[in-house]
Amino acid sequence: MTDQKEMHESQHHIVSPVTYAIVFGALLVFTALTVGASYVEMGIFNPIAAILIACIKAMIVVLFFMHVKYSSKLTKLTVFCGLFTFLALIGMTLADYISRAWGQW
Amino acid sequence: MSATIVSLPDQSTARIPKVNFITKENGLLSWLLTGDHKRIAILYLVSLTFFFFIGGALAGLIRLELLTPQTDLMATDTYNKVFTMHGVIMVFFFLVPSVPATLGNFLIPLMIGAKDLALPKINLLSWYLYVAGGLLAIYTMATGGVDTGWTFTTPLSTHYVNTNVLTTGLAVFIAGFSSIFTGLNFIVTIHKMRCPGMTWFRMPLFVWAHYAASILMVLGTPVVAIAIVLVALERTIGIGVFDPTKGGDPLLFQHLFWFYSHPAVYIMILPGMGVISETISTFSRKRVFGYTAVAFSSVAIAVFGFFVWAHHMFIMGISNYAVLVFSLLTMLVAVPSAIKIFNWTFTLYKGSITFETPMLYTFGFMGLFTIGGLTGVFLGTSGTDIHLTETYFIVAHFHFVMVGGMLMAFLAGIHFWWPKMTGRMYPEKISQLAAVVTFIGFNFTFFPQFILGTLGMPRRYASYPPEFQVLNVFSTAGATILGVGYLLPILYLTWSLKYGEIAGNNPWQATGLEWQTQSPPLTENFPATPIMDHEAYDYEWLENQKEKEVASVG
Amino acid sequence: MSDSTAIAHSAHDAPEHGHEEHPAYLRHHFENVEQQADAAGFAMWLFLLTEVMFFGGLFTAYLIYRNWYYPAFVAASHQLDIFWGSLNTLLLISSSFTMAMGVWCAETRKKSGLVLCLVLTFILGIGFLGIKTIEYKEKIEKHHVPGFHYSLNSFLNPDSDEAAKKAGDQPLPLDMARHTEVYFSLYFAMTGMHALHMIIGIAILGFMIYRAQAGAYTAGHVTFVENFGLYWHFVDIVWIFLFPLLYLISRHANT
């Protein structure tokens, strides 16, 4: 399914160590950020911030360490499908639990 | 039924090709350590047949018990074990792998012009995992069985039974990985190994159907795997995720279980639908009507199939709003299946229809799957489901789609591609008889069960009120006929291995790359990489080929 | 979908193939090395999808029970040492970095660099497991393992427990205290499953170090290292989510 040219590119594009180092640094910063945020009272935004930071960290690992940014459309589609199904599982199951004692949570 | 499209080479001079995938290497190890997708398919076929008959024997025991309203043939606990093992074996060790592991494995590389699947070693591993899981299931039966129902509902399975839940769970877990690896292999192969000219929309619809089923295998199976792991942890160390006394929710298991098990029914039926696309085209001599619609509807079934699982849980305690949402979504998932039935019917219109055995099974499929599917709508509607669920209506519904649908499609496929796999034709008359016997037996067995269900007979009960006996006797009588119908193919197909007529490359005058090479095929499938220069189901191209080629076999 | 198909230029290539076109590791059912590497990478991604769904079930359970028993989850999470958790996170992120660098070394054919990176990844992974062992041991000692004489003491009398006291926990009502067992069930299930994947990864790393030393991955055939890298990064991503969800539920003074 991949274009021959696109596939060659994805196979031959070598991500530079500088990119890796920047991502590594960013991951360390975000980790410090998330630990720090847990000590601050932010009400409903605590879990939101934690998940958001985790998502950003995961995203840069996926894009750069796992080379998805430089990969074929098929790889990107595959990652998306995994994410989509994962969210469907969680979302639809939670839909049941959320609505059970509607208004009493 | 004298009209036939079968065109065999001159039997006095025809021979099976000397070099083919069966004769290429000899010895047991060459089969047990093979990477050849065709040999693995045969390995699967043999083991699947074995497990089918075990599951069938269990079905026979169920029907025998239900001849009388009392539990007189076996104790109630034993009956519970019998229907549980019948379900476990039929679902996980027969229906899920049936078409993909046999016909899919054999045909997908041939259909797309590849030499093998992308990951042959993983393919072999898949078979070994299947066998390991199956042997563990047999061990479970031998050591006392399990009686929770194939659905392992908590907290019964975690807290209230002393039977082999763990070993059965492990068997299913292992078989699940077999399924995952098969699906993974198919997806990679279909994406990466099509021959030159084989675009997505030139592939046979059989391949599309397997692609959709493979997506479900890869994305759905791990969730039931983790559900089983959690049940195991619950049973062994009492972690408490499904235990109400510790704050757990038993329904969580059902959510995780059915998240896979609903897509699982599409894993089971989609490959069968793929077979039907092929046979209906060949035996109408016409391209499948609305190729694109059928292809996309396969994928649509796969996608929508992920969003409807809680329709198995309407009465279990989920919220009313969840019931509403899942009921609505269930209406949606029926649409792509209906699209396929319509398209196949339009394929028949103005086609030159002949009634060889695969086509008989195909007609059986279309009628019985339609009935089964329509009754699914009754069950998807939450209002009626409340009354029909956990009755024989459900049993009839899923047997119509799985046995009347899927199993008939499997038999259609086995007969259709038998000449390609073995080089020999099966005997037509007796096989047509078997198909008719199966159809009659099936209807006698399962149609009364719709009535029993609406009258209120519960499922999974060894005893029932005496007023239900007449219909139950009908059902058991039908089951006997059905058993004969399934036994006959074993006998005559085995017979045909030695005495069947030589088939030649293309006894059905079918399109498709698998028919343009010898029967049985070479180990590497094609003498040279084929180039696909025509659309799928292009019978005109086939006519041109015939004019050009000099028929020779052997 | 594009019209293009598999990679073979044509079926009628010259019968004489140069040695570079048919290296020993090219399997016979592939037309060329690119197709094989492409297929292998795609297969690895699909396998990772199955892993995502496998862990997905556990995350679903976690989200439900956290919302049902929030106070219990907060109190129970205070029993985890944020120092060890953060250190583990640093170790794993670093191992992801060294693994990525290892892939780069394989791609640029630097054998000793590759071996160094793999060894570092290995050591960091072992370090992670070592810390996990310390943490598990503490849980066992404090009777916080579900099903094995699980003790509610730390939650009914937080002053008797150092970690709870430090966090300023209030005593929980009895039924809510019981629900801390659900938290620990999920803690052990999720971190245990994660650790199992780490162990498998470390074992494969050991094998890879041996093969890398023999030069197997720096001769142009990097598929194995690349795909293992994908697996390792995935395991890292699982931890990236486990860490805040299990350790950082709420560390601020008043819950």
Provide the pLDDT for residue A4.
Answer: 53
Give residue-wise pLDDT tens across range A9-46. 555 688 899 999 999 999 999 999 999 999 988 888 88
**Chain A contact for C52 (CB, 8 A cutoff):** yes
Q: Is the peptide bond before C244 cis (omega within 30 degrees of 0)?
A: no
Q: How far A34 CA sits from the closest chain C CA (Å)? A: 7
Which residues in chain B are contacts of A83 at CB distance < 8 A?
none
Q: Do B199 and C3 touch (CB under 8 A)?
A: yes
Which residues in chain A are contacts of C233 at CB distance < 8 A?
61-62, 65-66
**Chain C contact for B233 (CB, 8 A cutoff):** yes
Give the type of residue at A103: G
Per-residue pLDDT at A2 exceeds 50: no
Per-residue pLDDT of chain C (255 residues; tens, 9 = 90+): 443 334 333 334 444 444 455 777 888 889 888 899 999 999 999 999 999 999 999 999 999 999 999 999 999 999 999 999 999 999 999 999 999 999 999 999 999 999 999 999 999 999 999 999 999 999 999 999 988 888 898 888 888 888 888 888 889 999 889 899 999 999 999 999 999 999 999 999 999 999 999 998 988 889 999 999 999 999 999 999 999 999 998 887 554
User: Who among A74, A85, A96 is closest to B310 (CB)?
Assistant: A96
CA distance B545 to B529: 17
CA distance B416 to B467: 44
Cα four-point dihedral sign B321, B323, B328, B332: positive
Give the type of residue at B369: F
Rg (CA), chain A: 19
φ, ψ of residue B458 in degrees (nearest 5):
-75, 155
Provide the pLDDT for residue B138.
Answer: 95
Q: Do A31 and C104 touch (CB under 8 A)?
A: no
B residues 200-229 closer than 8 Å to C (CB): 200-201, 218-223, 225-227, 229
Provide the pLDDT for residue C14.
Answer: 42
Q: Do C237 and A28 touch (CB under 8 A)?
A: no
Per-residue pLDDT at B512 exceeds 50: yes
Q: Tell me: ipTM over 0.90.
A: yes
Distances, alpha carbon C190 to alpha carbons B58, B229, C136, C159, in Å: 38, 11, 13, 28
Please tell me whether the overall predicted TM-score, pTM, comes out greater than 0.80 for this model: yes
Give residue-wise pLDDT tens across range B23-54. 999 999 999 999 999 999 999 999 999 999 99
Best residue in A11, A71, A89, A104 to probe B by mutation, most B CBs within 10 Å?
A89
Provide the pLDDT for residue C6.
Answer: 40
Q: How far A72 CA sits from the closest chain C CA (Å)? A: 10
Provide the pLDDT for residue B238.
Answer: 83
Best residue in A6, A11, A92 to probe C by mutation, most C CBs within 10 Å?
A11
Q: Do A97 and C107 touch (CB under 8 A)?
A: no
Residue range B263-274: mean pLDDT, rounded: 96
Q: Do A65 and C251 touch (CB under 8 A)?
A: no
pLDDT band at B549 (very low <50, low <70, confident <90, very high): low
Give residue-wise pLDDT tens across range B528-538. 999 999 999 99
Classify residue C25 as exposed, middle or buried by CB count within 10 Å of its CB (0-12, 13-18, 19+).
middle
Q: How far C46 CA sits from the closest chain A CA (Å)? A: 7
Which CATH architecture is the domain C53-247 placed in? Up-down Bundle (1.20)
Where residue C149 falls (left for φ over 0; alpha for ψ -120 to 50; beta otherwise) is left
Running DSSP on this structure, what letter comes out for residue B242?
A: T
Give residue-wise pLDDT tens across range B237-259. 888 889 888 888 999 999 999 99
Q: Are A8 and C34 in contact (CB under 8 A)?
A: yes
CA distance C190 to C54: 11
CA distance B141 to B81: 8
Residue range B52-81: mean pLDDT, rounded: 95
Per-residue pLDDT at B491 exceeds 60: yes
Closest to C48 (Cα-Cα) out of B122, B180, B186: B180
CA distance C56 to C37: 28
Computed over every residue of chain B, the mean pLDDT equals 94
**Farthest CA pair distance, chain C:** 82
Rg (CA), chain B: 23
Q: Residue B115, SS3? A: coil
Which residues in chain A are contacts of B319 at CB distance < 8 A?
96-97, 99-100, 102
Which residues in chain B are contacts of C51 at CB distance < 8 A?
222
Residue range B354-383: mean pLDDT, rounded: 96
Nearest CA in chain C to B229: C189
Which residues in chain A are contacts of C93 at CB distance < 8 A?
24, 27-28, 31
Give the type of residue at B44: Y
C residues 85-104 closer than 8 Å to A (CB): 86, 89-90, 93-94, 96-97, 99-101, 104
Q: How far B390 CA sits from the closest chain C CA (Å)? A: 26
**Chain A contact for C48 (CB, 8 A cutoff):** yes
* Strand ranges in B406-482 using DSSP code E only, listed in sequence order: none
| Helix (H) / strand (E) containing C215 | none
Q: Are B483 and B56 in contact (CB under 8 A)?
A: yes
Per-residue pLDDT at B101 exceeds 80: yes
Q: Do C52 and A81 touch (CB under 8 A)?
A: no
Q: Do A96 and B255 touch (CB under 8 A)?
A: yes
Listed by start position, the domains of chain C span 53-247
Cα four-point dihedral sign B208, B212, B218, B221: negative
End-to-end CA distance of chain A: 48
Torsion of CA B347, B349, B354, B356, to 10 degrees: 40
Q: Are B515 and B420 in contact (CB under 8 A)?
A: yes
Best residue in A4, A11, A66 to probe C by mutation, most C CBs within 10 Å?
A66
Nearest CA in chain C to A95: C64
Per-residue pLDDT at B86 exceeds 70: yes
Residue range B56-74: mean pLDDT, rounded: 95
How many inter-chain contacts (A to B, CB under 8 Å) are there?
Answer: 39
Q: Are C49 and C143 in contact (CB under 8 A)?
A: no
Listed by start position, the domains of chain B span 29-548
Best residue in B186, B203, B219, B249 to probe A by mutation, most A CBs within 10 Å?
B219
Is domain B29-548 classified as CATH 1.20.210.10?
yes
CA distance A46 to B483: 63
C161: which residues sit within 8 A by CB, 6+ positions away? C79, C142, C153, C154
User: Tokens 């006698």 appear where?
Assistant: B444
Q: DSSP string of B183-232?
A: HHHHHHHHHH-PPTT--GGGS-HHHHHHHHHHHHHHHHHHHHHHHHHHHH
Nearest CA in chain A to B216: A85
Enter the tokens of residue B169: 């769970």
Nearest CA in chain A to C96: A65
Provide the pLDDT for residue B369.
Answer: 96
User: Who among A46, A54, A74 is closest to C250 (CB)?
Assistant: A46
- Which residues, listed in sequence order, are joined to residue B391 by a DSSP beta bridge? B458
Listed by start position, the domains of chain A span 4-100
Q: What share of chain B has pLDDT > 90, as a percent?
A: 91
Q: Do C178 and B524 touch (CB under 8 A)?
A: no
Per-residue pLDDT at A101 exceeds 80: no
